[in-house]
Amino acid sequence: MTHAFKIALLSVSVVLWGIQASTLAAADERDRGRPEPRPEARGPGPRPEGRPAFDGRGQVLDSRYNHGRYYPPRGTVLRSLPDGYRPYYRGGSRYYFSGGIWYAPRGPGFVVVSPPPGLLITALPPYYSTVWIGGVPYYYADDVYYSWQPDQNGYTVVDPPENADAPSPPPPPDSAQTDLIIYPKNGQTKDQQAADKFECYSWAKGQTGFDPTQPGGGVPGDPDASRGNYNRAMSACLQGRGYQVN
């Protein structure tokens, strides 16, 4: 083997080694730029098609019941509260509510928390899902369940109901059997209409004692007068929820 041939062979080897090293370095750079695998979104069932588990701000997709909204994980700390928050108190502790997210004070800032059961709010978060479980409507957002309390004219935070993973279909919209003609004015969905009618039916029955699903309304005396009182209560409740009632 001549000296010139050895030099040529060595040169080829150096070139091949350089190509291989460059290829490995490029692959390593791509791997470093790739985000780490993240856990699946919470809640049963697949994520809505095309929706990643995390958004660009690190918020988690709540896909339970196809809710489809992003929220900061529990334990996230903020320096200040978002605009439009509302303060609440429960058991001597302060909580703040904004956009379906609950906060509690921690040091100089605030931390995202789960609200305690029994905490009463007057209005639901702007984005929520109506879920029927055991024939009862619940309102869900950010892993929190709310239930309408007619005696308190508000919604309370409740523990996850039994069979929460097996929701039932809503009852027929006309199950309350009223004489009223009802039109949604705010684009309420069929599920929301059913929930509103059910809750107003429960409230009107509690106010008047008249139950239109029972023979004679289930009350003694003049059933027509009792039904009139019930219809007026039902109408007032529905109008307050954004319906036209005739």
Average pLDDT for 209-228: 78
Segment of 5-14, 94-103, 128-137 carrying the highest mean pLDDT: 94-103
What proportion of the chain, given as a percentage, has pLDDT over 70? 74
pLDDT for res 222: 80
pLDDT for res 11: 52
Average pLDDT for 124-140: 88
Would you say residue 160 has pLDDT above 50? yes
pLDDT for res 109: 96
What proportion of the chain, given as a percentage, has pLDDT over 90? 31
Q: Which helix (H) or strand (E) holds 177?
A: none
Q: Which residue has the higher pLDDT, 18 or 37?
A: 18
Segment of 27-31, 42-46, 111-115, 227-231 carrying the highest mean pLDDT: 111-115
By three-state DSSP, how is residue 98 classified? strand
pLDDT for res 189: 83
User: Mean pLDDT of all residues in the chain?
Assistant: 78
Average pLDDT for 76-100: 94
pLDDT for res 127: 87
Alpha-carbon span 70 to 42, nearest angstrom: 11
Beta-bridged to residue 96, according to DSSP, are 87, 103
pLDDT for res 182: 87
DSSP annotation of 53 reads S
Q: Does the predicted TM-score (pTM) go above 0.85?
A: no
By three-state DSSP, how is residue 192 classified? helix
Task: Encode 131-146: b = buried (16+ Cβ within 10 Å), e = exposed.
Answer: bbbeeebbbbbbebbb
